[in-house]
Amino acid sequence: PEAVLQAGWSFPVDTWAVGCILVELATGKQLFELAHDDVHLAMMERVLGPIPAVLLRKGMQNMNQYNRRLLVKDARGAVCLAPCRQDGVSKVNGLKRLSEYVPDKVLLDLIRKLLEYDPAQRITARDALNHPFFQADPGASPARPAGNPMAAEQPTPP
């Protein structure tokens, strides 16, 4: 989100990308279909909940004039997303909450930490590798098949 909002970004943006990839690996579907920035932000809010006001304010300060149209101030003066373009409404409305895509609770916890809006609060790559999802017995969860599906098949002796 910080990249779309032009709120400055660094290594945490990579862990966000890993979270999106994990959803795709678990479901076989891309989490956020590529779209215009306004639709992309609306998709994030639909799946993950509201984008924190502090991130939106930072984006409003840094965005160029063209992209600043993505944000508006509501009646209270709070920064929020502008309504998304009409051709994106059906894409956004067709999305579900993250928990509906990922039924495995341990994997869901990891993905939520990877998709934390605030880059300062987002899990680091090192901490993600130490997450219980990677420590658990692969056969213990019905969402994960036993064994390593990525391992090369061992040839059988003649």
Rounded CA gap, 111 and 88, in Å? 25
Mean pLDDT for 78-107 is 78
**What are the tens digits of pLDDT across the range 3-43?**
887 777 889 999 999 999 999 999 999 998 877 777 888 88
Domain count, the chain: 1
Q: Is residue 157 included in any domain, yes or no? A: no
**Where is pLDDT greater, at 39 or 157?**
39
Q: Is residue 79 included in any domain, yes or no? A: yes
Q: Is residue 142 included in any domain, yes or no? A: no
For 133, the domain range is 12-137
Query: CATH number of the domain that 68 lies in?
Result: 1.10.510.10
pLDDT band of residue 100 (cuts 50, 70, 90) is very high
Q: Is residue 27 included in any domain, yes or no? A: yes
Alpha helices by DSSP H, 75-119: 86-93, 98-101, 105-114
Q: Is residue 65 included in any domain, yes or no? A: yes
Q: Is residue 94 included in any domain, yes or no? A: yes
Q: pTM value?
A: 0.75
Q: Is residue 5 included in any domain, yes or no? A: no
Rounded CA gap, 82 and 61, in Å? 15
> What φ, ψ does residue 116 adopt, rounded to 5°?
-65, 130
**Residue carrying structure tokens 């213990």:** 140
Q: Is residue 2 included in any domain, yes or no? A: no
Alpha helices by DSSP H, the chain: 12-27, 37-48, 53-62, 86-93, 98-101, 105-114, 125-129, 132-135
